[in-house]
Amino acid sequence: MKKNFIRIIPKLDIKNGQLIKGINLEGLRILGDPFKFAQHYYKSLADEICYIDNVATLYGTNNLSSFISRTASNIFIPLSVGGGIRTIDDIERMLKSGADKVCINSAAVNNINFLKKATRIFGSSTITVMIEYVKIGKKYFISTSTGRDLENINPLDWAKKVEDFGAGEIFLTSINNEGIKMGFDIKVIKEISKNVRIPVIAHGGAGTPQHIYEVIKNSNVSGVALSSILHYDIAHIFKYQRSGIGNFSYLDNLKKKIKPANNLLKIKKFLKKKGLNVRV
């Protein structure tokens, strides 16, 4: 697949109305109001915004409608949303709230025909399948429920299958690499992105702009989703209000004198200077 411009996509995980971030999808820290982060990324030339309700599948709910409506009214780039989307009505509600795409994971694993039905009704370009995978020993598994449950399915096999059932895009996360900021799992990303025809978004592992460059240069991804490398560097610039839910100690201890080092626009300019086709 010939590459167009590479999308750089901030991924915002939300729990109880707060932006959160962890390591290997666990050990979650509260970072503040997700809308403020989304606004900042929009002004920094993000190509898309991705909202994920981190506990929706666990609790059987999805509470992102208000976030979507507020964001879609103020931020004019594509918006994708996921977490707890299990029915056609769920998809319709998210789209009516202002989402451009929905991301599904558990629903497709539990019933692959749901994916086929969804793409038939809403179109493939509207449906992204999130593949979260983990390596244990020498074997790979895919995961549902934000890393809580493992399925004995190889991620490449699953990528090919969801493509066959109509998925318009794959959002690929290495749980082993997620949040540790030591680089992407390029081997698996390369294998999957070169063996499917639909766009693949790489997520999990970015700690430096060089990491982002390397995964783009050495695979066939259409975009890269970023979390830690963006969120931690700007969390201190926003005022936050305690909700009474969650641990705010990380925010309390942030040194406010630290200036952002890896903001989104700087990352995109770095990639452009390296010769990559990004929007700046």
92 noted as active-site residue: no
Task: Count the helices and strands in the chain (H runs, E runs).
Answer: 12, 12
Check the CA dihedral 164-92-128-151 and report its sign.
negative
Active-site residue flag, 214: no
Please state, in angstroms and rounded to a whole number, the distance separating the CA atoms of residues 263 and 280.
13
Largest Cα span, the chain: 52
Amino acid, single-letter form, for residue 178: E
Q: Are 70 and 50 in contact (CB under 8 A)?
A: no
The active-site residue out of 47, 48, 132, 169 is 132
**Which value, in Å, is the radius of gyration of the alpha carbons in the chain?**
17
Catalytic residue among 13, 48, 163, 185: 13
**What is the 3 state secondary structure string of 9-29?**
EEEEEEECCEEEEEECCEEEE
Strand partners, 15: 18
Rounded to the nearest 10°, the torsion over CA 64, 69, 75, 77 is 70
Look at phi and psi of residue 277 and say left if phi exceeds 0, alpha if psi is from -120 to 50, else beta: beta
CB-based contact 192:163 (threshold 8 Å)? no
Q: Assign residue 271 a region: left if phi > 0, alpha if psi is -120 to 50, beta otherwise?
A: alpha
Type and span of the H or E element at 53: strand 49-53
Q: Which residues are catalytic?
A: 13, 132
